[in-house]
Chains A and B, each alone.
Chain A
């Protein structure tokens, strides 16, 4: 085990840094983890040893099944452990996403690291500290109440020189003693609530951070795999003879898997181009313009997911009814690191370094594909170059493992950018139909149907007596056959970006109909105190003054909720009427994320969400036709860049009484509607489809 770790640059540093004392109990610890390694379980083990190790040198290792995708998990977990265990932050090393070393975890998605893993690590740290205090009380023959733990040292309060270090107490061994119901700290935090430097920083600014495609093993072969030109096209024949003439090339076929391998990745790719393959033409399918009619044509009646009152009564009460249909497009995750994996089969043990948000799921997938038991598979996802929901599955890890076994050599699979777009499980396109009724500035009726996106947050949080929400299809599956022409999946705050865009656009339409200021209209229909507070805070910080919309100012607001986190976003835009181009000048976002463990980390997520939100709101859209993905690189799929950067203001609300909430996804949800409402406010044109491309803005202007 130690040998294997030393052979790989990825874990070497951790092991060396953590001290040799660590080696002895990594293997012995599986017992603590196994009982909960069941698919479908969210919770981790209760044995604190699964989350932490104390080395003989006093360095502490924090272990977590989550993955560092860039969201700052390493830093936040180190902070949580340092806080509760009472050790200095810089003595904590963090090992994440290694299925042999870390406690089971379902996957890094749903903004669950902060609300679920941070508390588990805190509990582990608190219990371990209490055990260490009890051990010290016996060793020094001093009542535990007269001891204090600080910076990894336990000392007698009245005789500070009477002290023992954690390293001396534990001697690099597993701690066998347990204590039940040890409380975590409730205040007077020393580490949590601060904004330390990111733990992954030195590796990332020096280029020494190793991603899955950076694992170089002796004898490594790089695989270029034959891919179909379109979804639904199946392989008829492949002539690989020309490719095989290139010196050093190996061709491997197993079923429909045809791979060209070479010790140089570029040579393997060039050789793949020499394969003469024939594919069946896929059946004709929808394209990016016809997809919405296609949804409405093939979808059955949406299923009612929320209901109250009586729609007929709502219609009767309504002095005015506003009905509209909103569209959202397929978008790609487009992480800068494409799906990558390096696999090695050695003495029956399969090790896969995979860029994945869910290494434990990859472990099961690899075991199943190779027909071996899961214990024989180790998956390591140390650094991942962005995920955003797109790396919850890791087909490339399975491909690399299959090819490693077939060739008897370590194999690396790195998707080209074209493969990354082709195999992306896109955020689903969506149609949202809303019919809402107004009476005296109050919403009395809301009848909504959502097709394709899923129903999360389709049910408005406004006070509406007569409402019904229905949904068909979604990112999680359960789609009618043939609805989406390719795979869809979770994309940063799945389904909520689409539903928030539709709901908050419609709220502004209602406000305009009621001739009310959009902020006043929202507050007039909103009882939820936390949402009211983020709205009022955002308005105050932005300098919002009441006005009906369109006011010509180019101000737009939207609010939203995701996993109990609330936000309000206000944008200022300028619209070029001649070109249809939107310039976003300013975005202010107020967030209620409960207690914030790492304020600067939260700001990073919010700023990133503003930038990524500009993408799906203004420009990003997958073009496709008959199963072919036409957007396949950064020229045909433009993501936000430096020239798009508006002035960004992030306001974190102080809410220490609500437990810390996930921060990766919530900040992105209200960008679409805030910008659409700002465009309407600027020029009176309502853009009903995201992204708001210049063409769509010009078309909306022509109709306004």
Chain B
């Protein structure tokens, strides 16, 4: 039902008045104009719509708005607000994308991983990223980039 829902979006307090059963993806993209979060499948199967809610990677296409009330939400627009994040820099240096459509979801999934596991093994990275789909086949470079970002994070970057 229509309600005012407040949450912290990319560090800014945000209030949206809408049906709070609507999925976060569409509120972000349409109501708030943040189109960096992508629609890919609508059923939480591909990871293109991944955002961070309270340090967890969530599929925004399957997350009702009411679920983020009072919480911190981070999207691709927020991750590099103060200069590119180490993961973004590593995606650039490894050319870890082609069409780029899955890239925001990949970067945010990796962000969640590194919050919990700052120094993952390659196998841990691959397992964590398993349900983020990339059709162009940038997989080896994405793994390289995340591992490099983890190394950079260790060095304090």
Contact = CB atoms under 8 A, between A and B. Distances in A.
Nearest to A211: B101
Contacts of A633: 41-43, 45
B75 A639 contact: no
Contacts of A385: 38, 99-101
Contacts of A72: 98
- Interface residues on chain A, size class: 35 or more
- Interface residues on chain B, size class: 35 or more
Interface string B100-142: 1111100100000000000000000011011111111111111
Interface in A96-155: none
Interface string A374-402: 00000000011110100000000000000
B7 interface: no
Contact of B130 (A197, A338, A609, A642): A642
Contact of B91 (A69, A205, A604): A205
Contacts of B135: 334-336, 386, 388, 612, 639
B84 to A, nearest CB: 7
A537 B100 CA distance: 33
Given A607-B141, A645-B126, A70 B136 contact: yes
Interface centre among B132, B133, B135 (most CB of A within 10 A): B135
Nearest to A416: B42
Given A201-B97, A612-B135, A634-B46, A642 B126 contact: yes
A222 interface: yes
B72 interface: no
Interface string B32-68: 0111111111110110100000000000000000000
A69 B36 contact: no
Given A608-B138, A635-B43, A335 B99 contact: yes
B138 A383 contact: no
Contacts of A69: 98-99
A209 interface: yes
Contacts of A416: 42
A567 to B, nearest CB: 16
A265 B26 contact: yes
A70 B23 contact: no
B139 A642 contact: yes
A612 B137 contact: yes
B40 A417 contact: yes
B84 A70 contact: no
Contacts, number: 178
A210 B140 CA distance: 25
Interface string B8-45: 00000000001100110110011101111111111101
Contact of B45 (A197, A207, A635, A642): A635
A202 interface: yes
A507 interface: no
Interface in A603-623: 604, 607-612
A414 interface: yes
A159 interface: no
A640 interface: yes
Contacts of A267: 19, 22
A554 B115 CA distance: 40
Interface in A637-662: 639-645, 648
Interface centre among B80, B103, B126 (most CB of A within 10 A): B103
A633 B93 CA distance: 32
Contact of A608 (B46, B98, B101, B143): B98
A206 B84 contact: yes
A205 B136 contact: no
Contact of B38 (A200, A201, A203, A337): A337
Contact of B77 (A207, A263, A635, A643): A207
Nearest to A641: B130
A276 interface: no
Nearest to B98: A70
Interface string A308-346: 000000000000000000000000001111100000000
Interface in A199-247: 200-211, 213-214, 216, 222
B101 to A, nearest CB: 3
A336 B134 contact: yes
B37 A642 contact: no
Interface centre among A608, A609, A611 (most CB of B within 10 A): A608
Contacts of B139: 607, 611, 640-642, 644-645
B72 to A, nearest CB: 18
A273 to B, nearest CB: 13
A16 B108 CA distance: 30
A485 to B, nearest CB: 24
Nearest to A601: B95
A16 B36 CA distance: 21
A199 to B, nearest CB: 11
A604 B134 CA distance: 13
Contacts of A384: 99
B97 A264 contact: no
Interface centre among A203, A206, A213, A334 (most CB of B within 10 A): A206
A635 B80 CA distance: 32
Contacts of B100: 70, 200, 203-205, 209, 383, 385
Contacts of B80: 205-206
Which 3 pairs show the lowest CB-CB distances between chains A and B? A207-B36, A70-B99, A611-B137
23 contacts: A70-B97, A70-B98, A205-B97, A206-B88, A207-B36, A207-B104, A213-B35, A266-B22, A386-B136, A416-B42, A417-B41, A417-B43, A600-B95, A604-B95, A607-B141, A633-B45, A635-B43, A641-B131, A641-B139, A642-B130, A643-B127, A643-B130, A645-B140
Interface of B: 18-19, 22-23, 25-26, 29-31, 33-43, 45-46, 48, 75-77, 80, 84, 88, 91-93, 95, 97-104, 107, 126-127, 129-143
